[in-house]
Amino acid sequence: MIDEMEQDRAVKAGHRRMWALGSYATVAAEVIPELGTALVQAAGVGPGDRVLDVAAGTGNAAVPAALAGAEVVASDLTPELLEIGRALAAERGVELDWQEADAEALPYADGEFDRVLSCVGVMFAPRHRAAADELVRVCRPGGTIGLVNWTPEGFIGQLFATMRPYAPPPPPGAQPPPLWGDEEHVRALLGDRVTDLVLRREVVTVDRFAAPEDFRDYFKAHYGPTIAVYRANAEDPERVAALDGDLADLARRHTEAGVMRWEYLLVTARRRG
């Protein structure tokens, strides 16, 4: 048991370091800014709601929820992201409660929140069942759970598939993040604890990259998981060159007339009363 606890602490410490690399705030603001607002609208967030954003990052969903009049707690494992989010919220003129928390062991009471959200966040918790259990637990009966998750078949799912051969092996028991974008996987995770489950595939349009190499270089500079994979191969120039080529090829296959369409699964459900 002690070994398992130590392993879990090491895994979480690794996640903190990875997401602190680069500038996830830049990616959220420049590439996918509309995702959080889409989630807030789909979940029906409004004035007076008590909202928890799980794995909130820099507040891509939490800030729009606060702007909609909700009382928001933005939780994340990585304190560096919370600090950036706090500053961004201040710029927008809203106040949120920013708290460091593990999505697999949330420090909140059962049924504490009216709406529990996560925008391409909780999907990166390594133990999907534990994270799903926590989402349901902290949502009040009749409350709403709302998620945006990258699909396995979509661009970001394929990005992780492309990086996988270059990455260190995952820790025991860890599941691939894009599984959260598979409808059957989500149904199995939430089970009969929810009603009114809606699973809808949507796309976010990305048109900021003039060439496939521009996407690759942008993610090499800003996106923590991509930076971590490059660092893992830094001593092997041939593997770095191969990864460079594979990421550019991936972006090329997913670009048409200068536009990329990144697929995600929009999930809404009500906790059974």
pLDDT computed for residue 273 by the predictor? 86
- Which backbone phi and psi does 98 adopt, to 5 degrees? -100, 120
> Quick one: pLDDT at residue 54?
98
User: How many CA atoms, within 13 angstroms, populate the side-chain half-sphere of residue 7?
Assistant: 11
For CA atoms 81, 269, 123, 99, the dihedral sign is positive
Cβ 115 vs Cβ 61: under 8 Å: no
- What is the reported pTM? 0.96
pLDDT in tens for each of the 273 residues of the chain?
557 788 888 889 999 999 999 999 999 999 999 999 999 999 999 999 999 999 999 999 999 999 999 999 999 999 999 999 999 999 999 999 999 999 999 999 999 999 999 999 999 999 999 999 999 999 999 999 999 999 999 999 999 999 999 999 998 889 999 999 999 999 999 999 999 999 999 999 999 999 999 999 999 999 999 999 999 999 999 999 999 999 999 999 999 999 999 999 999 999 998
pLDDT at 6: 84
Which ranges constitute the DSSP H helices of 21-127? 24-30, 34-42, 62-67, 79-92
CA angle 50, 43, 87 (to 5 degrees): 60
pLDDT for position 112: 98
Per-residue CA distances from 91 to 62, 68, 95, 176, 186 (Å): 14, 16, 10, 35, 35
CA 86, CA 95: separation in Å to the nearest integer? 8
> E strand or H helix at 120, and its extent?
none
State which H helix or E strand residue 206 sits in: strand 194-206
What is the pLDDT at residue 5? 80
Domain 2-156+167-205+260-271, CATH among 1.10.530.10, 3.40.50.150, 3.40.190.10, 3.30.70.330: 3.40.50.150
Q: What is the pLDDT of residue 8?
A: 85
User: How crowded is the C-beta side of 126, counted as CA atoms within 13 Å?
Assistant: 17
Domain layout of the chain by residue ranges: 2-156+167-205+260-271
Hey, what's the torsion of the CAs at 263, 17, 52, 71, to 10 degrees? -110
**Residue 20 has which token pair?**
């602190």
